[in-house]
């Protein structure tokens, strides 16, 4: 689930932290820059693990800060494909079951990856597994928000979210109406529970 990613970057150290040791000052700036942020094709950055190399620092004309090229290793959240993870159901919609790990919310289990057969209950706003009891009857098992769920990671999606033009989040529709553009999700996981042992932990507690 967590990996060590090797990275390098030129870090700007402002004068007001020159009193710190260089390693400590750079570590502080690295965590400000990366902690809880998604790096494209790397994952969600959690915390600095260590600094492996520091090159010479330079101060450029007109800028009192020090600029240092740094090689470092960062703890990153990036589950491998087919990894089994336990989280909690955040909400349900027709798009699927939305899962959270507490520190990461962008996980979806689409309808075709749920236990079969399943249906979406509009009244309860929850997905329901129509469990076959084996005697011709069906027992409804609801996937309610807050329930603990075990799922398998089947895909990951990275999206470039850096600004590429003027900041304009409004879109004009053919009818002349203006609507706000939905924010892009930089990193999303897709999961599946369509196999024995996966899904709500309560389903298998007595198995």
CB neighbour class for 121 (10 Å; exposed up to 12, middle 13-18, buried from 19)? middle
Tokens 């990951």 found at: 156
Please, how many CA atoms are within 13 Å of residue 65, restricted to the half-sphere of its CB? 12
Locate tokens 């809880």: which residue?
36
pLDDT at 71 over 60: yes
- From 58, 66, 11, select the one nearest 34 (Cα to Cα): 11
pLDDT of 177 > 80? The answer is no
* pLDDT value of position 109: 97
pTM of the entire structure? 0.83
Q: Which residue has the higher pLDDT, 167 or 65?
A: 65
Give all strands of the β-sheet with 66-77 in edge-to-edge order. Answer: 2-13, 66-77, 43-58, 38-39
Q: Report long-range pairs for 48-52 (Cβ below 8 Å, ≥24 apart).
A: 48/72, 48/73, 48/74, 48/75, 49/4, 49/73, 49/74, 49/75, 51/23, 51/26, 51/27, 52/6
Q: What is the mean pLDDT of the chain?
A: 89
Q: What pLDDT, on the 0 to 100 scale, is given for residue 52?
A: 95
- The whole-number pLDDT of residue 31 equals 94
Give the 3-state secondary structure of residue 176. coil
Average pLDDT over residues 102-128: 95
What is the phi/psi pair of residue 203, to 5°? Answer: -65, -35
**What percent of the chain clears pLDDT 90, i.e. is strictly above it?**
76
CB 187 within 8 A of CB 156: yes
Q: What is the pLDDT of residue 137?
A: 82
Whole-Å CA distances, 50 to 13, 30, 53, 70: 17, 11, 9, 11
pLDDT of 125 over the 90 cut: yes
Res. 63 pLDDT band, cuts 50 70 90: confident
Work out the average pLDDT over 105-109: 96
Tell me which residue has tokens 């979406």.
120
Q: Which of 79, 194, 102 is nearest to 143 (CA)?
A: 194
Query: Is 60 or 182 the better-scoring residue by pLDDT?
Result: 60
Q: Which residue ranges form the domains of the chain, and what is each CATH number? A: 2-77 (3.30.1490.120), 84-204 (2.40.50.140)
């Amino acid at each position: 689930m967590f990996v060590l990613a090797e990275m390098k970057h030129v870090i700007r150290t402002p004068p007001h932290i020159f009193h710190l040791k260089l390693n400590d000052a750079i570590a502080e700036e690295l965590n400000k820059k990366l902690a809880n942020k998604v790096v494209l094709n790397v994952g969600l950055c959690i915390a600095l693990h260590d600094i492996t190399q520091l090159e010479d620092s330079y101060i450029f004309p007109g800028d009192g800060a020090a600029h240092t090229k740094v090689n470092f290793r960062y703890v990153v959240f990036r589950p491998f494909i087919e990894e089994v993870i336990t989280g909690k159901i955040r909400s349900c919609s027709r798009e699927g079951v939305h899962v959270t790990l507490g520190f990461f919310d962008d996980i979806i289990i689409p309808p075709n990856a749920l236990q079969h057969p399943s249906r979406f209950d509009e009244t309860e706003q929850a997905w329901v597994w129509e469990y076959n009891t084996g005697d011709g009857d069906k027992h409804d098992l609801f996937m309610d928000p807050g329930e603990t769920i075990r799922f398998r990671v089947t895909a990951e999606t990275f999206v470039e979210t850096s600004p590429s033009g003027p900041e304009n989040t409004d879109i004009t529709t053919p009818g002349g109406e203006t609507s706000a553009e939905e924010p892009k999700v930089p990193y999303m996981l897709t999961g599946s529970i369509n196999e024995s042992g996966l899904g709500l932990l309560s389903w298998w507690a007595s198995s």
